[in-house]
Amino acid sequence: MRLHLDEDADAHALLNALRHRGLDVTSTREVGRLQCSDEEQLAWTLEQGRVIYTYNASDFCRLHAEFMQRGRHHAGIIIGDQQSLSIGEETRRLLKIGETRTEADMGDNLEYLSNWSGATDN
């Protein structure tokens, strides 16, 4: 799974941890998209074939619903909660999704990181 951290999730420690474990990951800051809207970010990640990871649940849940209603597509959305997990646990859960879900599985889908504990039955 190719991943993109949006502006809200763009923590240097998380980015480094994911890369250290071999994940192909970019960040909004790195690719110069800080001024883009969430909708523009979602369209860009589709073009790039990257699942977007964000803490911005309200906006991205709304966008996901709007995209599906309008027949638009996205490469996938993962919603995290920056208050509840350590960087290590966040990394483990993102890697678990990447090991379990294919690019096709993630397309047009929204996942909550909170549903991905260390269990293998996800």
The answer to whether position 120 is within a domain reads: no
The answer to whether position 121 is within a domain reads: no
Q: What is the pLDDT of residues 25-60, one digit of tens each?
A: 999 999 999 889 999 999 999 999 999 999 999 999
The answer to whether position 37 is within a domain reads: yes
What is the distance, to the nearest Å, from the Cα of residue 75 to the centroid of all Cα atoms in its chain? Answer: 9
How far apart are the C-alpha atoms of 50 and 7, rounded to whole Å? 15
Please state the rounded mean pLDDT for residues 81-88.
84
The answer to whether position 53 is within a domain reads: yes
The answer to whether position 122 is within a domain reads: no
The answer to whether position 70 is within a domain reads: yes
The pTM of the full predicted model, rounded to 2 decimals, is 0.91
Provide the residue range defining the domain that includes 15: 3-115
Domain with residue 67: its CATH number is 3.40.50
The answer to whether position 76 is within a domain reads: yes
- Name the pLDDT band for 71 (thresholds 50, 70, 90): very high
Domains in the chain: how many in total? 1
The answer to whether position 58 is within a domain reads: yes
Q: Is residue 22's pLDDT more than 80?
A: yes
